[in-house]
Structure 1
Amino acid sequence: MNQEITFENIHKNGAIVEENERYKQNQFLKIPNMYDANYIAFKQMPTLAEFKEAEEYLRGYHMRLGQNHVKFYFPEGIKITDELDNYLSTSGYDTGFMELYKVDPSKFPEVPMNDAIKVREVSEKNLEPFLDLIYKHTLAFGEKFAQYKRSLIREQCLDDSQKERHLKLFATYDGKAAGYAHVIISKAFVEIDNLEVDEVFQKKGIGSALQRKVMDLFSDRTVILVADGEDTPRNMYRKQNYQYVGFQYEALKVLE
C-alpha cells in the first residue's frame, strides 16, 4: 500500500491516439461526448500560445468527428497561470480542479447496520433496475448520452473479459433502487468511480454502505477516488479518513 499514487492511476475510457512532448490526446468514440474520455492532457503547463495551438488542433479534430466539446487536463499539482486562466474565463471555458484521495480500508470507519440498505454486486438478476437508475442519473446530459452510457455499462457487466477489471455495486433501500458505484480494479489500487445515490435516498447512509462494501471486498489494497475540489463530498471523504494526495486543474468548453 506504499506505492506512489498519482492521477495517472485514475481510469480513463478510450485510448491515446496522439502523443508528443507537450501532451497526450485520448479518444473514446463509443461515447464521443463523454467529456472526461475525449480530451488532451498536458504533460507540462502550456504557455498561452501553446494552449491556443492545442486548442485549435483539438477543436478541428473533434468537429470532424461530430464532437461538440474540447476538454483539457493540466499537469497535476500545478495551478493554471494567471494569463491562461484569464484566457479560459473570457473564452467560455468552465474551469475547476479535482482532488485525489486514498484510504487504507482498515482506516475506513465502521458503518452502522441498517437492514433497509442492501448492497450487492450487479448480476443478471438486478442488472435492469441498476441500468435504469444509471439511465435516470445521466439523462440530464441528453437522451443519446444516457443511452450510450447504459449500453457501455451493460457491456462491462456482461463481458467476461471486462469483469476482472470492472465491478459494479448496486444499493437498494427497502427494496427500491437507491445508489450504485463503479469499482475499477488493479493489483495495487481499487478506484471508486461514479458513486451515486439517488436524491430520494440521500442522507440515509447509502454512500457509506457502498464504500464499506468496497473496503470489505478489497481489504488488501489501497482505495482511491477523485472528488470535485469545490464540492461538499470532499469534506465527507476527509471525515472518513481518506488522505489528500493532490490536485489537478481541468477546463471544458462545449462548442456551439
Structure 2
Amino acid sequence: MKEVSFDDIFILGNTVVDNKHYKHVHYPEMLIRYDSNFLDFKVLPTVKEFVAIESYLRSYHIEHGQNHLKFSLPENKKMSEPFETYLTKNGYEISCLELYAIEPKNFPQIRLMSNF
C-alpha cells in the first residue's frame, strides 16, 4: 500500500489563492461548510505572519457573508508556544486529525439482518 497523506483527500471547493505559504479554498455554493471554506498552511507561520493572513481571510469571509475562520496547519509539524498561545487567547479551538488507511480486502465483514 502506498503511503497516504492528507494531500490525497478530495476537498470540495475552489482554490482562490495557492502560493508557497498557503492554499485558500472557497466553496460559494455552501458558505457554511467549514471543510470547503478554509485556509491550508503549507508551512507553519510565525505569529506575525498568521495575524496578517488571518486578517486577509476574515475580510474575505466577511465580504462573502461568512462568519467563521478555519485554518489547517501542515501535518506532523508542532506549532510554537507563542503561536499556540495566540490562538488560545483569541478563542480558536485547536484539534488534531489522524489519518488511517486500510486495504479494502481488510475491511471488516458485516452481516446484514433482514426483517423479512
**TM-score, L = length of structure 1:** 0.43
More strand per residue: 1 or 2?
1
Q: Distance in 1 between matches of 2:32 and 2:42?
A: 23
- The secondary structure found in structure 2 opposite 1:88 is helix
- The secondary structure found in structure 2 opposite 1:67 is coil
Q: Distance in 1 between matches of 2:49 and 2:13?
A: 25
Q: Distance in 1 between matches of 2:108 and 2:113?
A: 18
- 1:1-55 CA distances to partner (integer Å, 9 max, x unpaired)? x333110111111111112221010000100111111011000011111111110
Equivalent residue number for residue 8 of structure 2 = 9
- The secondary structure found in structure 2 opposite 1:40 is strand
Question: Is the aligned partner of 1:90 residue 2:89?
Answer: yes
Q: Distance in 2 between matches of 1:114 and 1:61?
A: 48
- 1:181-224 CA distances to partner (integer Å, 9 max, x unpaired)? xxxxxxxxxxxxxxxxxxxxxxxxxxxxxxxxxxxxxxxxxxxx
Which residues of 2 match residues 165-204 of structure 1 at below 5 A?
A: none
Equivalent residue number for residue 236 of structure 1 = none
- 1:218-242 CA distances to partner (integer Å, 9 max, x unpaired)? xxxxxxxxxxxxxxxxxxxxxxxxx
Question: Is the aligned partner of 1:29 residue 2:28?
Answer: yes
1:114 to partner: Cα distance: 3.4
- The secondary structure found in structure 2 opposite 1:8 is helix
Q: Distance in 2 between matches of 1:56 and 1:64?
A: 12
1:108 to partner: Cα distance: 2.4
Equivalent residue number for residue 64 of structure 1 = 63
Q: Distance in 2 between matches of 1:37 and 1:85?
A: 24
Selected match of 2:113 from 112, 115, 135: 115
Q: Distance in 1 between matches of 2:10 and 2:93?
A: 22
**TM-score, L = length of structure 2:** 0.92
Instruction: Give the 4+ runs in structure 1 shifted more than 3 A.
Output: none
Q: Which runs of 5+ in 1 are unaligned?
A: 117-173, 176-256
**Residue type of the alignment partner of 2:112:** N
Which residues of 2 match residues 35-54 of structure 1 at below 5 A?
A: 35-54=34-53
1:115 to partner: Cα distance: 1.4
**Residue type of the alignment partner of 1:21:** K
1:88 to partner: Cα distance: 0.8
